[in-house]
Amino acid sequence: MKNTNMNRRTFLKVTTVAGGGLLVGCSFSSPKLLSTPQASEEELGMWIRISTDNKITLIVPSSEMGQQAHTGQAMLVAEELEADWNSIKVVTAQVHPEYMISGDQDTGGSGSIRDWWDKLRQVGAGTREMLITAAARKWGVPVTECQAVNGRIQHTASGRSLSYGQLASAATKLSPPDSPTLKTPDQYRLLGKSLPKIHTPTKVNGVAEFGIDVRRPGMLFAAVSQSPVFGGQVKSYDEAAAKAVKGVEAVVPIPNGVAVVADSTWHAKQGLEALKPQFEGGDSAGLDSAKVTARLSTALDELGKVEVTAEKVLDVEYEMPYLHHATMEPMNCTAHVSTDSCKIWVPTQSQTETLKAAMEVTGFSEDQIQIHTTLLGGGFGRRLLPDFVTQAVTVSKVLQKPVQVVWSREEDTQHGYYRPTSMSRFQVGLGGDSKPVQWENQVAQPNFLAQIVPPLDWFNFDPLAVVASVHDYTIFPKHFYKVEGVEMTHTGVEFGVPVGPWRSPPNSLNVFYTESVMDELAHLAEIDPLDYRLKFLGESPKHRSVLEQVAKQAGWGNPLPEGHGHGIAINDWFGLDEDTSVVAEVAEVSVSKRGKLKVHRVDCVIDCGFAVNPDSVKAQLEGSIVMGMSAALFEQITLDDGRIAESNFDDYRIARLRDTPEINVSIVKSDENPTGAGEPGISPIVPAITNAIFAITGKRLRRMPIGRQKLV
């Protein structure tokens, strides 16, 4: 084992609660790392609860949305705790500063393992040492003669042992150790193993609770209708007709819309149909997709193109559409507001934003609000936003009863926070060595970070236009491709359409641009696309190694059947971090003589540091590849007269089982700290597919999705 070199003050600061941790003036009180069910409410452990029957409940900070964060975080604690894996239960933490990273308690950015790698292991190790101390005192023996093994403390010399359940009460009376000792990788019993997922049994038997499954005594159900034009207001509705529908109890105004409340979701839906709400106004009134494209193009024209003088010049333009998150579970929230409290049951990625929304609606203080985070039926960034929480709390506040708001699929599709549309132009000149001597790039897109940080709009600065691009901004780390003569400019273009984080912002836009341009430059230079990329990775050995490994795995350069081609692309996540996850992918696709496209196989290699649960990492990559492929082939949100044209999966098509290729994922063995696996795999599959299409047909696709574009 290795000592973490943490003094008592630091250990308490990172592992205990406010009021029981580091206080002003550096004084301390006895903290609670763990508790028993008999402990009083104020003494309940923030991280671990152990019952007398040896059941262990781990309180983990991240929301679970299928990415297996609960399993991975439980493994971090259980490894150091030396817990019996079969005794583990996991719940999502309530809102508390102890569970926050940089002031927010949320789940995203591939941070569930990366951000909690040290802290959760320290919690487990500290608790283990407290249990060992409790046993040693009970037996009257030195601590050094005792060891923790699979949920028990053993005294080797005498053969005695006690379970954690037998020791938990005594351990809660102890102070944490000054410096908990962490295991070294060669001592890991759980970490690095593909353990079964924590929630699989309850998902199979139907016990697992998603937001849409919540039921409370006396609960009512609400269906909502929001202005189809963003920012519009309710003009009129027929309340009497709605209340005449069986089971309907109330009609309640909500921001930009109205809710019908009934004794069942079905009756609420029927009541909403009878209500016939009409809307007026709105920020996006009159907007359509053609106007979006035209305004983006005009914005680029205003930035100006650069005349490049070189032996060979590339002058190209790319466009990406708005995208919907398309989670399988639509937006929903259950709230119960009384005169002095608010309880919320919600599938959210952001407990912090949920709390803020509830406080704003109710006027309550933080300690009057409880948030119970359920399992999420998909998130992808959409559930970082709290609009559906605001609705549920608003309706419940009016009725003073528990109310569940569930959006229809149509509401969900037409009232999202979409991935921004974007347009990017490049003028690149190649020198005699086939490398760029001038790299000019102009980008126009909505600036969604400006919604969070208004000064970004004042200065017309969008960090998400820069990260994952080849750029010349000195405040950000340079791209892993080392390119000379770079000048990048960008501008925001606002359309009144809500935009937000869509799995791996900004990479889902910029990696397509960068990897497409690199492929086009390789063709212009008459160099193999793999070899061309390697020319720019002399200072990036990690990226070079991953790229070479995926090429070898895919059989890059080997003969393929007629009509088949390979495309390659690489990405890292997150571009602002010193240590990044690197993913490279090769797609094998075919285009028939009639222009029919099929993706046959995708090879993927990831270096994400230490893989806590390799099967979870592979599942993340497989899901990312399918989601990215779906976006490349089919997905787009379009506008007509200020409204979203798509409404359900019949016109917002996503990839299905028949579209899914063979996927082969390899994980680079590493003992470096984990760097995340949820985001990095989704972006490179898009240019890998389009680059493969070019390899077959010579046709370059610069606008997504591929859809019905002619390939031959």
Spatial neighbors of 559 by CB under 8 A, at least 6 apart, are none
Domain membership of residue 372 (yes or no) is yes
Q: What is the mean pLDDT of the chain?
A: 93
Are 178 and 240 contained in the same domain?
no
Domain membership of residue 311 (yes or no) is yes
- Contact assessment for residue 439 and residue 513, using Cβ atoms and an 8 Å cutoff: no
Q: What is the pLDDT of residue 44?
A: 55
Q: Which of 565, 561, 654 is nearest to 323 (CA)?
A: 654
Could you say which of 202, 230, 247 is where a domain stops? 202
Could you say which of 385, 406, 427 is where a domain stops? 406
pLDDT tens across 380-397, in order?
999 999 999 999 999 999
The fraction of the chain above a pLDDT of 70, given in percent, is 94
Q: Which of 72, 113, 66, 63 is nearest to 91 (CA)?
A: 63
pLDDT tens across 399-408, in order?
999 999 999 9
Q: Which residue is associated with the tokens 């893989």?
A: 611
Q: Buried (b) or exposed (e) across 86-111, using 16+ Cβ within 10 A?
A: ebbebebbbbeebbebeeebbbbbbb
Q: Which of 170, 164, 270, 157 is nearest to 222 (CA)?
A: 270
How confident is residue 15, by pLDDT bands cut at 50, 70 and 90? very low
Q: What is the pLDDT of residue 317?
A: 98
Domain membership of residue 413 (yes or no) is no
Report residue 198 CA to chain centroid gap.
19
Q: What is the pLDDT of residue 678?
A: 96
- The structure's pTM equals 0.94
Are 85 and 119 contained in the same domain?
yes
Are 350 and 425 contained in the same domain?
no
- CA–CA separation, 14 and 601 (whole Å): 45
Q: How many domains does the chain have?
A: 3
pLDDT tens across 516-565, in order?
999 999 999 999 999 999 999 999 999 999 999 999 999 999 999 999 99
- Contact assessment for residue 277 and residue 236, using Cβ atoms and an 8 Å cutoff: yes
Q: What is the pLDDT of residue 576?
A: 75
Any bridge partners for residue 70, and if so which?
A: none
Question: Which domain, by its residues, includes 164?
Answer: 2-202
Asked whether residue 80 carries a pLDDT value surpassing 80, the answer given is yes
Asked whether residue 26 carries a pLDDT value surpassing 60, the answer given is no
Are 62 and 163 contained in the same domain?
yes
Q: What is the pLDDT of residue 18?
A: 26
Q: Where are the alpha helices (DSSP H) in 24-180?
A: 69-81, 111-114, 117-139, 164-171
- Contact assessment for residue 11 and residue 182, using Cβ atoms and an 8 Å cutoff: no
Q: Which residue is associated with the tokens 């002058």?
A: 315
Could you say which of 147, 176, 202 is where a domain stops? 202
Domain membership of residue 25 (yes or no) is yes
Asked whether residue 367 carries a pLDDT value surpassing 70, the answer given is yes
How confident is residue 40, by pLDDT bands cut at 50, 70 and 90? low
Are 129 and 221 contained in the same domain?
no
The CATH code of the domain that includes 141 is: 3.30.365.10
Asked whether residue 1 carries a pLDDT value surpassing 80, the answer given is no
- Contact assessment for residue 241 and residue 297, using Cβ atoms and an 8 Å cutoff: no
The fraction of the chain above a pLDDT of 90, given in percent, is 89
Domain membership of residue 707 (yes or no) is no
Spatial neighbors of 649 by CB under 8 A, at least 6 apart, are 326, 409
Question: Helices 69-81 and 117-139 sit at what angle, rounded to 10 degrees?
Answer: 30
Q: Tell whether the torsion through CA atoms of 141, 146, 150 and 151 is positive or negative.
A: positive
Q: What is the pLDDT of residue 578?
A: 77
pLDDT tens across 139-184, in order?
999 999 999 999 999 999 999 999 999 998 898 888 888 789 999 9
Residue type for position 611:
A
Domain membership of residue 709 (yes or no) is no
Spatial neighbors of 133 by CB under 8 A, at least 6 apart, are 143, 171, 174, 177
pLDDT tens across 94-124, in order?
999 889 999 999 999 999 999 999 999 999 9
Domain membership of residue 147 (yes or no) is yes
Element (H, E) at 587: strand 581-591
- CA–CA separation, 310 and 345 (whole Å): 61
Are 252 and 120 contained in the same domain?
no
Q: What is the DSSP pairing of strand 56-60 with strand 34-35?
A: unpaired
- Residues 671-700 have a mean pLDDT of 97
